[in-house]
Amino acid sequence: MMGRKPHVILAPYPSQGHVTPLMKLAYNLVDQEVKVTFVNTESIHAKLMSAMPKKFKGKIPISLVSIPEGLESNHDGKDNFQVRESASSFTQSHLQNFVENINLLNNEKQVSLVIADISVGWALEVAKKMGIKQAAFVPYGLGNLAMILHNPMLIKAGIIEIYGIPMKDEFISQSNEISA
């Protein structure tokens, strides 16, 4: 008897520049015979589906699903702070319910791994709480990641404010070895 095919959920940050790199990873996983479910917020899912040619709909090897983001229907998705705040609370419970339903309804396709954009760490928390393996995905350069990981230190030192705005009009450098 063959082993169960791995089932991976991919959860991007709800912004086009974050979706595309994870979608590329999704196709690479499918090439390795991994079942992939790509979970977007409703607004990003709608954009993705409307951009997809009709001849491809229903034929792609990835399950494309959406979960509510908790934003008002007239929200354009451009206010990143509002998107983050909504996603970290409202969407978290919907992702958990979605994964629970998959795991309850189908023993052969239970979720074995959640790969989430590092910007939606709450998705990794959901997986951890459910006993599912997790992996963070970084869709941008390492210099950006270093800056993000150093934000708490920069805030504490009074170099930037909580929203990332510099407190002084001066150059900010993380390292002499990394060029700006």
Domains of the chain plus CATH, in order, are 7-139 (3.40.50.2000), 141-180 (no CATH)
Reading phi first (left if > 0) and then psi (alpha if -120 to 50, else beta), residue 17 is in alpha
Lookup: tokens for 37: 């479910």
**Which pLDDT tens digit goes with each residue over 156-166?**
989 888 888 88
Residue predicted with more confidence, 31 or 76: 31
**Which pLDDT tens digit goes with each residue over 45-92?**
778 777 777 777 677 888 898 888 765 555 555 555 555 565 566 688
What mean pLDDT comes out for the span 134-157?
87
Beta pairing partners, 135:
115
Q: What b/e readout covers 83-118, taking b as 16+ CB neighbours within 10 angstroms? A: beebbeeebbebbbebbeebbeeeeebbbbbbbbbb
Q: What percent of the chain has pLDDT over 90?
A: 29
Reading phi first (left if > 0) and then psi (alpha if -120 to 50, else beta), residue 164 is in left
**CA 162/CA 160 separation, integer angstroms:** 7
148 pLDDT tier (thresholds 50, 70, 90):
confident
Q: What percent of the chain has pLDDT over 70?
A: 79
**Which pLDDT tens digit goes with each residue over 113-127?**
999 999 888 999 999
- Does residue 39 register a pLDDT over 80? yes
